Amino acid sequence: DAGVIQSPRHEVTEMGQEVTLRCKPISGHDYLFWYRQTMMRGLELLIYFNNNVPIDDSGMPEDRFSAKMPNASFSTLKIQPSEPRDSAVYFCASSLAPGQGYEQYFGPGTRLTVT
Amino acid sequence: GQSLEQPSEVTAVEGAIVQINCTYQTSGFYGLSWYQQHDGGAPTFLSYNALDGLEETGRFSSFLSRSDSYGYLLLQELQMKDSASYFCAVQHQGGKLIFGQGTELSVKP
């Protein structure tokens, strides 16, 4: 398997623009997670899905952030409108169901810069 | 609320042994995981402890004491390539993982 795939790897955009980050999890994984990493706040869980259904979105910072998982092989994280404080590395990760293994496999991340 | 505490940075020399401690306060604790992250890279899984005791995987070992809400990662025979950030993370039932702030390990020759 190619691992978790994220696109784009780098995104530079202007404040107010819409940003869409994409993730393809490892085939067969039931869980998909979106994280944000910054120096100040560390690695934060934003939202996670089980079998394409959002389970916990308590980490989503505000209504400007939304995430979808239309099928088992694709998820998006959208920021609209974007702000400079959204600049961070966004990671997507996937895993098997608890009981089958607890390792989360992370994608390479999308480095987002909002100017 | 929930919190995880680990040292912000640790320095050691090649060939040495280093221990990175992690204490946590949380509800719904299921287990403790450790992840490694090199600069600019993705976090990668190192180990997981659900029960008290020591888990050994090659040069790395991880320990958990549920009664003390404490765990540690032990790295033996340190190599330069072990220079990275190490995160403890609390696993909650249902798959949710909450990460500590990370410990930056510098291995010197």
**Per-residue pLDDT reduced to its tens digit, A11-25:** 999 999 999 999 999
φ and ψ of A103, to 5 deg? -75, 130
A38, A56, A112: which is closest to A79 by C-alpha? A112
β-strands B103-108, B9-13 pairing: parallel
Alpha-helical segments (H) within B5-73: none
Which chain A positions have a beta carbon within 8 Å of B102's beta carbon? 42-43
Angstroms from B16 CA to nearest CA on chain A? 27
Within 10 A of B74 (CB to CB), how many other CB atoms are there?
15
Structure-token pair, residue A78: 């959208």
Nearest residue of A to residue B102, measured between CA atoms = A42
Question: Tens digit of pLDDT per residue, chain B (109 long)?
Answer: 678 999 999 999 999 999 999 999 988 888 999 999 999 899 999 999 999 999 998 999 999 999 999 999 999 999 999 999 999 999 887 778 899 999 999 999 9
Q: Predicted confidence band at A99 (pLDDT cuts at 50, 70, 90)?
A: low
Q: How far is A74 from chain B (nearest CA, A)?
A: 19
The Cα–Cα gap between B109 and B96 comes to 38
Mean pLDDT (chain B, rounded): 94
Answer whether B97 sits within 8 Å of A108, measured CB to CB: no
Chain A residue closest in CA terms to B41? A108
Instruction: Return d(Cα B12, Cα B24) in angstroms, integer.
Output: 24
